[in-house]
Amino acid sequence: MSKYLKLATALVLLSTPAFAEGFGLGRPALPEEIAAWDLDVSPDGTGLPAGSGDVLTGEEVFADQCAACHGDFAEGVDNWPKLAGGWGTLNHEDPLKTVGSYWPYLSTTWDYVNRSMPFGNAQSLKPDEVYAIVAYILYSNDLVDDDFVLSNETFAEFEMPNKDGFIIDDRIETEFSKWVGEPCMTECKQEVKVTMRALVLDVTPEEETQAAAETQQVTVEAAAEPEVNEAQVQQVAAIDPELIAAGEKVFRQCKSCHQIGDGAKNRSGPQLNGVVGRAAGAVEGFKYSKPLMAMAADGLIWDEANLQEFLASPKGFMKGTKMSFRGLKDAEDIAAVSAYLASFAD
């Protein structure tokens, strides 16, 4: 049948009395079909399915399902969205709008993850996985502790930092009359000047020349090689096996970024073989942050004291570090993971 005949047939059908009040296409949606699309969640938790998820489980699911685009710590990869950080930047020229700094309702996070993520495989996550991912995103924003559990029962109790940062848009009532009607076209500017580049809005990719890239890549040879004495190297010949075993369990919180042991490779963090007693910034092939390399140039050694202080509060020990892990609160956990790290030589 030619396309013209098909069109003529369609027109005849649409002109018959049976189709007089509509196009005659489709059918009413079934209740179960509507329910499949009825996924919205309200700020008070209405619409949430039963379930729960904790931070540590969320870290594992996030690493598998989200980290490729959003980074292991929700810091964003390339131009993919940053989900953490940006606190206190909303009044800046270039604010960083993240879940922690900008979004007023936790329901927005849950609904979006549940409805649209992971990218290319939307709605494949189970409710418990969504709860866990959202819990980990809150943790990455320093809004909850690592033992936090999010569930449909506790959801409405959590308040986002920026919940009062939005106002009702009443411009239709208050301003509409001022910007409608005929334009005045008087006292117009004689010329237009470009006063800002799109780079400020983070929409213009930065092009690095090879020379610039080589300048930014700080190598171990470029940093001052500190003199390491044996007294600083806290390598103990015989470490309590039980302490090492306890440290291995604690280290599970670090495995998404750091490898250790035979065949360990650099990931988003450097491999940690021989880290205890080693000069900071000394792993070949890993691009360290500028704050770390600055401390390395000043002679930082990962002796037991420095390592344990860093594990307790990475951001407190090294301002500007890329490592968004909040640190270990328990002194026994810190001692255990330190012993575990010390058990691996280069």
Task: Provide CB contacts within 8 A for 164, sequence distance 6+.
Answer: 104
The tokens of 263 are what? 């065949």
| pLDDT for the residue 43 | 93
pLDDT of residue 128: 98
Q: From CA 99, how far away is CA 163, in angstroms rounded? A: 11
Q: In angstroms, rounded to a whole number, what is the distance separating the alpha carbons of residues 344 and 267? A: 18
Give pLDDT, residue 210. Answer: 45
pLDDT tens, 202-261? 555 555 444 444 444 443 344 344 444 444 334 444 568 888 888 888 888 787 678 898
Give the list of residues 6+ apart from residue 48 with CB closer than 8 angstroms, or none. 41, 110, 152, 155
Extract the residue ranges of the chain whose pLDDT is less than 70: 1-22, 197-239, 256, 324
pLDDT digits (tens, 9 = 90+) for 168-209: 889 888 888 877 877 778 888 888 887 776 666 555 555 544
Q: Which domains does the chain have, with CATH numbers?
A: 38-157 (1.10.760.10), 241-342 (1.10.760.10)
pTM attached to this predicted model: 0.51
d(CA 134, CA 109): 7
Q: What is the pLDDT of residue 19?
A: 47
Using DSSP's 3-state secondary structure scheme, residue 52 falls into: strand
DSSP for 138-176?
Answer: HHHTTSS-TT-EEETTTGGG---TTTTS-----HHHHTG
Please tell me the predicted confidence (pLDDT) of residue 191: 84
**Amino acid residing at 279:** A
Judged by phi (left if over 0) then psi (alpha if -120 to 50, else beta), residue 92 lies in: beta
Among residues 71, 76, 58, 70, the alpha carbon closest in space to that of 138 is found at 58
